[in-house]
Amino acid sequence: MTDARPLDTLADFPAIPAGWSYLDTAATSQKPQAVVDAITRAYGETYATVHRGVYQRSADMTLAYEAARARVARFIGAKPDECVFVRGATEAINLVAHSYAATHLKSGDRILLSMLEHHSNIVPWQMVAERVGAAIDVAPLTSDGRIDLDAMATMLRPEHKLVALAHVSNVLGSVLDVARAVGLAHGVGAKILIDGCQAVPRLPVNVAELGCDFYVFSGHKLYGPTGIGVLWGRAELLDAMPPWQGGGAMIDRVSFERTTYAPPPGRFEAGTPHIVGVLGLHAAIDYVEGLGLDAIHAHEGALVSRARDALGQLNSVRLFGPADSAGIVSFAVEGVHPHDVATILDEGRVAIRAGHHCAQPLMAALGVEATARASFGVYNGPQDIDALVKGVERVTRIFG
């Protein structure tokens, strides 16, 4: 059994009481005190609107808001004017689908997804495909739960105009070879969007090095607030995209005869933004980079190894996904519904996710209706794995 390397951060998270094992970080992360403090300070001391007021506090808040955009850009190796603030990755994907894909794809074009995608990276493309007359293809998985890039290479052809794939699976934790996927997509002239929700909290990400065309993620999985996320897009692609929503902030000039629009990213940020959420995201990125993404990845990898080794010794447990998954372990207990597993674990103060994880096509491919999922964060340690295994052993005793 591999020893985990705790980051010793538990004291930074006020919402995790002693003796409670929070193993649902893939759904949403707990928040460090630094993020809570940034949000409290923004609402309690410095709050004002941005981009509108000429008074000093508004000007200061505008500077802080745009400094957060620059911080996001540095975090992912991008330029600030390529980073659009949205409510989350779901909205980011919908923005690309309805602004880029809906205006660039036509009847006969094709979109390529994979079997392990989250519903948010399936449904928007289905909506656009139905609207423009495009078709959707689905890349299969390898035996250990990775996107099969060899199969994808044989499937791609010039009719494919867009590829959308998860960087890290929210169910299996499998990590995509993004650089290879980008090369395959670009080889047939397709643009490629990467869903980075589960990647940015766990892996160093540099969009320039990855070479993708769009990258999306949500703040609340990155130890930041809910209701804020990021769409990164290549500048020339954003420039060519029409606005998705209309209103204040995204305009250049409005008359009843004609309206002209602001350049990106403002073009895609209609209305008053989630100002405090943006500042909270800034604090979350500072916190994560203070720990180091390489250290986080090593820490979570050790926890995954420990959990898989221990659960694998239980005859009634079936593990899903690759051994080197990034911070996520999905499993099933023979003869027990995952909801019952989660309920019994909760009695022992262990919080996991149970269900289809917004990935019903993947569940069908795995031959199950649902799985139990333990997902780790910087606040977890070996004691949480021990509590998880003890709880699963209790499940097997109760159900025989």
- If asked whether residues 233 and 316 sit together in one domain, one would say no
* Ranges of residues in the chain whose predicted pLDDT is under 70: 1-6
- If asked whether residues 235 and 305 sit together in one domain, one would say no
User: Among this protein's residues, is 197 annotated catalytic?
Assistant: no
- If asked whether residues 85 and 18 sit together in one domain, one would say no
Q: Which of 281, 392, 381 shows the shortest CA–CA distance to 22?
A: 381
Beta bridge partners, 253, equal 260
Q: How far is CA 326 from the centre of its chain?
A: 13
What angle is formed at CA 66 by the lines to CA 60 and CA 70, rounded to 5 degrees?
135
1 domain-assigned:
no
81 domain-assigned:
yes
Q: How far is CA 67 from the centre of its chain?
A: 22
- If asked whether residues 230 and 311 sit together in one domain, one would say no
3 domain-assigned:
no
4 domain-assigned:
no
- If asked whether residues 196 and 306 sit together in one domain, one would say no
2 domain-assigned:
no
- If asked whether residues 343 and 392 sit together in one domain, one would say yes
Catalytic position from the list 83, 197, 212, 358: 358
CATH of the domain at 74: 3.40.640.10
Q: What is the CA radius of gyration of the chain?
A: 22
Last residue of a domain, one of 229, 260, 289: 289
Give the whole-angstrom CA distance, residue 380 versus residue 325.
16
What angle is formed at CA 142 by the lines to CA 139 and CA 146, rounded to 5 degrees?
80
Angle between helices 293-312 and 275-291 (to 10 degrees): 80
71 domain-assigned:
yes
Q: Using an 8 Å Cβ cutoff, are 318 and 331 in contact?
A: yes
Give the whole-angstrom CA distance, residue 334 versus residue 188.
44
Give the whole-angstrom CA distance, residue 343 versus residue 336.
11
Phi first, then psi: what are they for 192, rounded to 5°? -135, 130
E strands, the chain, in order: 21-22, 83-86, 110-114, 135-139, 160-166, 191-195, 214-218, 229-233, 251-254, 259-261, 317-320, 328-333, 350-351, 353-355, 371-375
Q: What is the reported pLDDT for 254?
A: 93
| End-to-end Cα distance, the chain | 26
Give the whole-angstrom CA distance, residue 184 versus residue 194.
14
Residues 250, 262, 101, 82: what is their CA dihedral angle, to the nearest 10 degrees? Answer: -100
Dihedral class, residue 355 (left if φ above 0, else alpha if ψ from -120 to 50, else beta): left
Is the pTM higher than 0.75? The answer reads yes
- If asked whether residues 252 and 203 sit together in one domain, one would say yes
Last residue of a domain, one of 289, 312, 337: 289
- If asked whether residues 167 and 285 sit together in one domain, one would say yes
What angle is formed at CA 243 by the lines to CA 47 and CA 126, rounded to 5 degrees?
110
Q: What is the reported pLDDT for 5?
A: 46
Report in angstroms the alpha-carbon separations of 55 from 44, 45, 252, 276, 278.
Answer: 18, 15, 22, 18, 21
- If asked whether residues 308 and 249 sit together in one domain, one would say no
pLDDT per position as a tens digit, 229-284 = 999 999 999 999 999 999 988 999 999 999 999 999 999 999 999 999 999 999 99
Structure tokens at 143: 């035996």
CATH of the domain at 348: 3.90.1150.10
Angle between helices 382-399 and 338-347 (to 10 degrees): 120
Residues with Cβ within 8 Å of residue 130, at least 6 apart in sequence? none
5 domain-assigned:
no
- If asked whether residues 306 and 355 sit together in one domain, one would say yes
Last residue of a domain, one of 289, 321, 356: 289
Residue 28, Cβ neighbours under 10 Å: how many?
13
Q: What is the reported pLDDT for 6?
A: 60
- If asked whether residues 94 and 209 sit together in one domain, one would say yes
| Structural domain of 191 | 35-289
- If asked whether residues 48 and 181 sit together in one domain, one would say yes
Dihedral class, residue 193 (left if φ above 0, else alpha if ψ from -120 to 50, else beta): beta
Domains held by the chain: number = 2
